[in-house]
Structure formats: C-alpha cells, structure tokens
Amino acid sequence: MKEIKEPIWTKDFIIVSVINFVSILMFFLLMVTISSYAVDTYHVSTSIAGLVSSIFIIGSLIGRLGAGRLIGNIGPQKMLLIGLVLFFVTTTLYLMEWGVVYLLIIRLLQGIAVGTIGTATGTIVAMILPVSRKGEGIGYFSLSAVLATAIGPFVGMFMLKLENGFDVIFYMNTGLSLMLLIAYFFVKISLPPVNKQNGQQTEKLSFIEKFIEPKALPISFIALLIGFAYSGVMTFITFYAREINLVEAASYFFLAYAGIVIISRPFTGKLMDVRGPNVIVYPCLAVFAVGMLLFSQASAGWMLLVAAVLIGFGYGNFNSIAQTIAVKVTEPHRFGLATSTYFILYDLGLGVGPFILGMIEPHTTYRTIFVSMIPLILICIPLYYLLVGRKQKLA
C-alpha cells in the first residue's frame, strides 16, 4: 500500500513563504538602489552612501536578536504581525525627504522589521511542517529567499532607468508592504501553545541563552564562515567582471545561480529527510570550493556561468540544509531562537565579509581574494565533521 505523505504546500505555508519572499525582495531591491538615492538626493559622500545601504544589516541583526527572544513569550504569529506593521510604517516614511540622518534612522528601523519578519516566518514554517518532510519543506521555503536575492537587484536596477525611478520604487514598496500586512490576516495557523517550561527553567537560563540557542551555534558558526566566503562574490562580482572583461557574462551569473538552486533544492531536501544532512553537506562544500576555484580563474564567459552553477549547487544547498539542522537539533519551544541564531551568524558573515575583503582589495587583486576563500571553504569540511557531522544520524 502506498504511503500517504503529509502535505507541505498548505495555504498557510504558501502565504508565509510569499511574505518572506516579498520582504526579502524589497530588501535587496533597496540595497542596490538606496546608495544612489542618497547621493542624488542629499549629495553625500560615497562612504556615507555605503553606510545608508549597510546600516540595514545592523537593524536586521537587532531585529533577529529581539524576535528570537520574544517569540518564546508571545509566539511567532504575533511577532510576525509586529514586524509587518513596522515594515509598512517604515516603508511609507521613505516618501518624505527630511535629510540623510532621517534616512539612516528609517533604514535601521526597517532592518529591524525585516529581521523580525524573517525570524517569525522561519519559525512558523519550522513549526507547521511535518517532521518527516521538514528538510524538504524548509528547502522549498528557502527558495523564496533565493528567488528574492536574484529578482530584487534586477528589478531595482531596471527601475533606476525609469523617469522618477526612486519615486516609483518607494510607492511600489509601500503598496507591497500593505499587501503583506493584509495577507497576514489570511493566515490561520494552529500552532502548539508557547511552552514556558513552568517558569523555573526560564529563570535558570543564562543571559546569553535568552537571546541565542546554544545547540544551533555549531552549524551557525560554519554558516558564518561559508557566508563570509560567498560575500565577496555577491559584492564584488561587478568590479571583478570589469577587471577580467566578462561584464556581459556576469549579468547572467545570478540567474544561473538561482536556476540551479531551484532545480536541485527540492531533491536535496528530500534526500536529507531520508538519509540525513551529511550526505548533502560534504558534497556541497566540496562543490562550492571547486566553483570558487573556477570563478577565481575565469577567463571566458562559459567559465563564469559554470562557476555560477557550481557555487549555486554547493553554497545554495548548504545554506538551506544548515538552516534545517539548526532547527532539528533544537526543542520546538526554542525554534524561534534557533532560527534567529542561525541567521544572526549567517548575516554577520555576509555583512562583515565585504568590509574586510574591501580593505584587502587595494593591496591585491580580486582573483587573489577569491582564491584565498578556497582554503576557508575546505577548512569547513573537517570543521563541520567535528562540530556537527559526527553527531548526525540517518533521518
């Protein structure tokens, strides 16, 4: 008799995934356009324009820390509503031109909103997915982020070419944020009651444990290192493409990257549920290293696009599997903290990487920078075994 699988694609799963997708799309759309807006509107320096762009990540980290802590008290649904209301309010405030300090404050507050939304949606998905298909389900859910990171920058660059492009962006984002807030009220999720562990265990928690899930730290630390290794690709690909005269091929890089992730992630998620995470993680890290090697040595368009496929398969699938591990090693009542812990460290790698690598770049070449990331990726293979892999069993 054929086994009936528990459903993944429920109405609530789809709505929560769409909320996650649109909020991240708007995040990346503004990341590639807001610095130009700051320069054009307020005539600030390049360094201040960079701060306007990057302060969003600081806000996101604050949002994840706060949301991870509060979810255990008020639940992920209320946390999501708080995030969406703040997101809508801050999005409408972009329509006012009250100076660069005002813009910095709005960017910081909206970063807090996005961090809150991301933690809440990730926690809700982890809770509503059936245990037997959690890896597959989180794989599908994380596709929303992958698609957003590919589509957001593309839409943003296209809109900059329009007349009054910044106004179009801000009005469109206001409409989208309102739609997300409305969509929330169509979510009717039956989550288990918040487990406060009869108050005694809560009091025994250290200050750190109130904001961070210790069991999720090992895989989250590896995600930080892998995010750091990838951050240079995400940030410097335009400059690198000019350096090696492959600008046209580079414009298709993230499309190839997103394409292979979309194709492969459903299979890797299913395989994790059946065979456990190790069978995915080790090959993914090896493939990521090979992709980075090819990327660093690219001298033709096809090499750059093949590198995109390899990096997409390796890095892209590792990211979703690692997120699943962070949740699976944690008790259900701390899913929120596990999700926020993972993304705090992962975002830290993505955020700190460009700053550090950017300081190194004037003293070397982009090729050398990308080559130097290969040993870091390879070191993560034995590190994963020591911290995580040897403790994993077949699902």
Express each pLDDT in 296-324 by its tens digit.
999 999 999 999 999 999 998 898 889 88
Q: Does position 161 have pLDDT exceeding 70, yes or no?
A: yes
**Pair of tokens at residue 285:** 């890290």
Cα–Cα distance between 340 and 67 in angstroms, integer? Answer: 7
pLDDT the model gives residue 202: 46
How many CB atoms lie under 10 A from the CB of residue 100? 17
The b/e string for 328-337 (b: 16+ C-beta within 10 A; e otherwise) is bbbeebbbbb
**Pair of tokens at residue 55:** 């302060």
Q: Does position 1 have pLDDT exceeding 70, yes or no?
A: no
Q: If you average pLDDT over residues 196-208, what whole number do you get?
A: 53
Contacts of 105 (CB under 8 A, 6+ apart): none
| CA angle in degrees (0–180, nearest 5) for 271-310-22 | 75
First to last CA, the chain: 22
Is the alpha carbon torsion for 139, 141, 143, 149 positive or negative? negative
Instruction: Express each pLDDT in 22-74 by its tens digit.
Output: 998 988 788 777 877 888 888 877 667 767 777 787 888 888 888 877 887 88
Q: Are 35 and 53 in contact (CB under 8 A)?
A: yes
Q: Are 261 and 316 in contact (CB under 8 A)?
A: yes
